[in-house]
Amino acid sequence: MSATEGAIYVVRHGETVWNAEGRRQGRMDSPLTARGVEQARAVGRALRKALGDARGVVLESSPLGRARATAEIVCRELGLAESAIVPQPLLAELHNGDWQGLTAAEIDARFPGARDARDREKWSYTFPGGESYADAYRRATAWLSARKHASDTIAVTHEMLSRTLLGAYAGCTSDEMLALSHPHDRIYCLWGGRITEAAA
């Protein structure tokens, strides 16, 4: 991974308590675990190595707490003030509606058959009171099309939104996007129409 002017570095927040418990977060939040804090530090160190001088880098973050906490750690590793973080609602996680805060077993108990229905139409399925992947894709494309920075950009976001962001950049089909994943310790560099992956 090398820093090139105009590159986008897509970062997922560090592991959270609810990630470890298998709970859906969506627009709700839980704190980073100790492992999540170390993942964020490792991402920051990898970005420092890739970028060299981080001055002039644009750092945009989902406004959700777990992403903001990750962005703050990344800033410290890069030697940037936390005031450099630009809150970006378009990078917020896909809204999981009434499923937020629940485990798979709790969803099945409260909404029998709903997970099977979602599996059949995963791209277009709208969480009750929330969004669909198609909605998140529109946000991802809006963020990409509005981006006019000449400098490198770090985008701190979430796994479900990252699928649509990477997919929109690469011109993937909906099925290809749904097959993507973004582990907590991975950085994706978007530049020149190509996506490269690096482990933190």
Annotated active-site residue in 15, 93, 158, 182: 93
Going from N- to C-terminal start, the domains of the chain cover 8-199
Q: What pLDDT is recorded for position 75?
A: 96
DSSP string, 124-162: TPPPTTS--HHHHHHHHHHHHHH---SS-EEEEE-HHHH
Beta pairing partners, 59: 85, 154
Digit-coded pLDDT (tens) for 169-182: 999 999 999 999 99
User: Domain spanning 8-199: which superfamily?
Assistant: Phosphoglycerate mutase-like (3.40.50.1240)
Annotated active-site residue in 13, 95, 182, 184: 13
Query: Which residues of the chain fall below pLDDT 50?
Result: 1-4
Active site (annotated) includes residue 95: no
Digit-coded pLDDT (tens) for 142-159: 999 987 666 899 999 999
Q: Rounded CA gap, 73 and 67, in Å?
A: 10
Q: What pLDDT is recorded for position 53?
A: 83
pTM reported for the whole predicted model: 0.94
Active site (annotated) includes residue 13: yes
Best CA proximity match to 188, nearest among 142, 153, 148: 153
Q: What pLDDT is recorded for position 149?
A: 62
